[in-house]
Amino acid sequence: MKKTSFVVITIILTVIALAAETAVRPDQLTPQRTETPVPPENLVIAVSGTDVSLSWSPVTTDVNSSPLVPDGYGVFSAPEPNAASGSFTHLADVAVTSYIHLGAAATFGKVFYYVTAYKDQIVLPEDFVFVQGGTIHPLDGLFAPDLTVASFAIDKFELDQLDYQTVMGTNPAHSYGVGSNYPVYYVSWFNAIEYCNRRSLWAGFTPCYSYLDYGTNPDNWPSGWNTDSSNHVNVSCDFGADGFRLPTEAEWEYAARGGLQTHGYTYSGGNDLNSVGWYLDNWGAYHSSAPLVGTKDPNELGTYDMSGGLWEWCWDQNAGIYRTGRGGSWVSDAPTCAVTSRRADYATTNNYKIGFRVCKSVD
């Protein structure tokens, strides 16, 4: 117990500040509650008859005296001052204020009230990075002068062939590099959509994509749904679902530019494309296969290959009949690998230059 304080009043109600143990939530990409090691101070209990209210001073610093703003406070009760954490009764969470009205006291015996500050942290899937939402100000491109997105999480890497085959059961890549660490190519926009939903179902998440009124399980979608490019308009996305999905163009460019850490580079991670991406002049002119994923320098967020490597499918429509790709490829010239570069393809298009990476919404 740290910095314990309490007051005893006429009906013998007691308040104690306690740093409780971390409560781990097992599902990925949901808030994981972590109690701070610094409990609130100056706890005050107010009782009118049997009506109880608690107040305390907000926590403003961590144990190193660095600024800290908790996401909220947990209020608990226990029958004894040194009770084990498992015997606490959780009464409420207070998200904004440092005050709570508990209502009528349950008993007139000794009741010990515990208050602890907490932070909600995001637990990400392996190889994902959290992208803090906000607004950046590109000087050029589709989203100049203001690009605003909500927070999300995105894979550091283009999807590799091992991950694709694990979920889909097949590897469509051939002739231009085959192996676990090669990016998957020969994948259409439809293939990417199906992969996202199947991976979501496999991982126990709610899929984002639906096809007409056939639901989210691709096993229930009609035969031929992915063979006619015009069917792309029949796919809808629930951005509130916790499943895997393709990034929107705005999310893709925001991440490629480095999010709120952006330096305004021409390419994702720098102005020297040779350092951050594989393209025609340093790879395609000399090799007949796609480069391995993640072998150049990352950008400000820690993502790789968002300039060069493979074009990456995004969610957005382009001119109503196409879907959009971003980032250039290993056979593109340098200008085509800029973070502003776009291409439009039919949803059925698949070739050795196009792959994708996945992302997830964050509450």
The domain that holds 354 is classified in CATH as 3.90.1580.10
Q: Do 109 and 224 share a structural domain?
A: no
Give the angle subtended at the CA of 245 by the CAs of 240 and 250, to the nearest 5°: 85
Q: Do 357 and 268 share a structural domain?
A: yes
How many angstroms separate the CA atoms of 194 and 360, rounded?
15
Q: Which one, of 7, 101, 104, lies nearest residue 49 by Cα?
A: 104
Among the three residues 100, 122, 144, which one is the final residue of a domain in this structure? 122
pLDDT at position 109? 61
pLDDT at position 40? 86
Its domain, for residue 245, covers 128-361
Q: Do 137 and 51 share a structural domain?
A: no
Determine, yes or no, domain membership for 271: yes
Q: Do 241 and 181 share a structural domain?
A: yes
Determine, yes or no, domain membership for 6: no
Q: Do 156 and 113 share a structural domain?
A: no
Looking at the structure of the chain, the number of domains it has is 2
Q: Do 138 and 116 share a structural domain?
A: no
pLDDT in tens, 266-313: 999 999 999 999 999 999 999 999 999 999 999 999 999 999 999 999
Three-state SS for 337?
A: helix
pLDDT at position 61? 82
Q: What is the DSSP string of 106-164?
A: S-SS-EEEEEEEEEEEEPPPTTEEEE--EEE--SSSTTTT-EEE--EEEESSPPBHHHH
Kindly report the CATH number assigned to the domain that includes residue 105.
2.60.40.10
Q: Do 320 and 235 share a structural domain?
A: yes
Determine, yes or no, domain membership for 146: yes
pLDDT at position 106? 54
Q: Do 132 and 63 share a structural domain?
A: no
**How many secondary structure helices (H) and strands (E) does the chain include?**
4, 20
Among the three residues 105, 122, 139, which one is the final residue of a domain in this structure? 122
Q: Do 162 and 298 share a structural domain?
A: yes
Determine, yes or no, domain membership for 33: yes
Q: Which one, of 310, 70, 295, lies nearest residue 187 by Cα?
A: 310
**Exposure string for 177-190, b = 16+ CB within 10 A, e = fewer:** beeeebbbbbbbbb
Among the three residues 74, 103, 122, which one is the final residue of a domain in this structure? 122
pLDDT at position 36? 66
Amino acid at 235: V
Q: Which one, of 70, 89, 71, 72, lies nearest residue 80 by Cα?
A: 89
Q: Do 249 and 310 share a structural domain?
A: yes
Q: Do 356 and 223 share a structural domain?
A: yes
pLDDT at position 319? 95
User: Would you say the C-alpha torsion 146, 152, 157, 161 has a positive or negative sign?
Assistant: negative
Q: Do 203 and 61 share a structural domain?
A: no
pLDDT tens for the chain, residues 1 to 363: 222 333 333 233 334 443 332 222 223 334 556 666 677 888 888 888 778 888 999 888 877 777 878 888 888 888 777 777 667 888 888 887 888 888 776 554 677 888 888 877 767 899 999 999 999 999 999 999 999 999 999 999 999 999 999 999 999 999 999 999 999 999 999 999 999 999 999 999 999 999 999 999 999 999 999 999 999 999 999 999 999 999 999 999 999 999 999 999 999 999 999 999 999 999 999 999 999 999 999 999 999 999 999 999 999 999 999 999 999 999 999 999 999 999 999 999 999 999 999 999 987
Determine, yes or no, domain membership for 3: no
